[in-house]
Amino acid sequence: MIQEQLIQGNFYHIYNRGNNRCDLFHKAENYEHFLGLYDKYISPVAETYAWVLMPNHFHVLVRIKEDVVYRYTNVDRSNDAVKFEERKWETIDLSACEAPDSVKKPVHHRHFAHLFNAYARYFQQWSGRTGSLFERSFKRKSINNENYLKRVILYIHDNPVHHGFCAHPVEYPWSSYLACISIRPTKLKREKVIGWFDDRANFKTAHNEKVEIEKIERWLELDN
């Protein structure tokens, strides 16, 4: 199956799971480490609207940022994963660049590859596990309709309920639901999310209703 490219300005539901459905997370420190790496590799190039980390898979809803580039230093002109660590990302007006040859637009799917590779290295050191940790190709589905954006958010937050980890999303610590109902600072695009549901009360009400998990999965072409 040919995966579509990640296009600037578009919303995507992105999903990946452990190779052969193996667990990706065992303890709180694993979840926390993944979120730290996600912030490092994905936040520079994508806005996050919803996420959930399950023991053997995860889901995120993102919008790919526009006009994001990185500047090369004199000693950093390669696409190697090691050199990637040294890049400084910023949002700039490309037409105003003094040295256009010193900037390069990101290849967005590679950021997810860097995330998976970095977490796999950590997890192998932590657990002693060998072999591939993630499935090779992560799935992505372009979302261009506000109604579907809302349904995907409900689907993501309901994953722990659907899989029997809790009775309500508020009880699960590894999703964006708690950030949505909180007033604490967050990088999540919380106000935009709440706005799609009109207000926080309607957001909560929608999450109290039954989510059509199977119907959404068929539309997303996912198999959990």
- Which domains, ranges and CATH numbers included, belong to the chain? 11-66+108-220 (3.30.70.1290), 68-104 (no CATH)
- pLDDT bin (cut points 50, 70, 90) of residue 105 is confident
- pLDDT bin (cut points 50, 70, 90) of residue 224 is very low
| Per-residue model confidence (pLDDT) at position 178 | 97
- 39 has pLDDT over 60: yes
Percent of the chain exceeding pLDDT 90 equals: 62
Backbone CA torsion sign across 13, 159, 130, 135? negative
H or E segment and range at residue 178: helix 177-181
| Per-residue model confidence (pLDDT) at position 220 | 67
Kindly state the average pLDDT of the residues 36-64: 96
What are the φ/ψ torsions at residue 69 (nearest 5 degrees)? -140, 165
**For residue 220, which of 111, 113, 61, 64 has the smallest C-alpha distance?**
61
**pTM given for the model:** 0.84
| Per-residue model confidence (pLDDT) at position 127 | 94
Question: CA–CA separation, 62 vs 16, rounded Å?
Answer: 14
